[in-house]
Amino acid sequence: MHPFDSSKWGRICRFLTKEGHLEKNRVVEPLEASREDLLVVHTEAYLNSLKSSFRVAAIVEVPPLTLIPNWLVQQRLLYPFRKQVGGSILSAKLALERGWAINVGGGFHHCSAEEGGGFCAYADITLCIQFAFVRLDISRVMIIDLDAHQGNGHEKDFAHDGRVYILDMYNAGIYPFDHAAKRYIDQKVELVSGTETDDYLDQLDKALKVAQTRFQPQLIIYNAGTDILDGDPLGNLKISPEGVVIRDEKVFRFAKDQNIPLVMMTSAGGYMKSSARVIADSITNLSQKDLIQLGSQPD
């Protein structure tokens, strides 16, 4: 059974607003991704398969869902997912306008156009990038995927697509073991279980330096999984909360130093109750370091 925390995303925003770090006019609620939106990436057959509670249960790895009527699965699970997909699409537009955007959700990196899995029912990363290509006049995108798991969904979707550069840093000893998808990673950083904070951040520094010399993107998609945290039941890494904050700061500074718009997705990855607190602290740090602006939008 997949140990997901479905309340994580709402608690992040509540932490930030309650503590006075985030003004309400800085929050934009996305529309639900429509079927027409989803068909940009997915087939009719795949979307129709989600009308089966059995199929959805297999994708999100929650067997009891097979016993739930599909209308309720749609309402309580897939509708919130589609809202997050809408957030990923909107974030690309906002990042181009303002330099950055954070989707407090999304990052369903195990889902490809043809197949869901690993708690990921919709390929929002792929859809976000396709939207940028078609609607935002973008032709070069870098994915920086720092979830503890390999991002095999977007890797399969952008196989042999020179417009997309993928930097994926993940624990090679855990799910999904997708060796076919690994062939499509432009820059692969494989970690071992038990990797600790200092080693992790050192490897990230080296990876970002290499990425900067290899590819000049017009947009960065950053999948910021917190399943790298020490104690996470699935990630098997030993990164401290402070290490996550520093990691996110490094990626945002990488983008800002090159004047590249960045979309951050908080990722399906992050399975402890503490994840929301860590993400909120990281976003607060980004604001304090002037890498993002959480106050009133200037006129």
Q: Which residues are the active-site residues?
A: 110
Tokens read off for 35: 């079927």
Bridge partners of 164, per DSSP, are 141
Of 294, 246, 263, nearest to 104 (Cα)? 263
Backbone angles phi, psi at 59, to 5 degrees: -65, -45
Q: Alpha-carbon distance 122 to 137, whole Å? A: 24
Burial (Cβ within 10 Å: 0-12, 13-18, ≥19) of residue 106: buried
Backbone angles phi, psi at 202, to 5 degrees: -65, -45
Burial 187-210 (b: 16+ CB within 10 A, else e): bbbebeeebebeebeeebeebbee
Q: How far is CA 131 from CA 83, 135, 138, 167, 295, in A?
A: 16, 6, 9, 20, 28
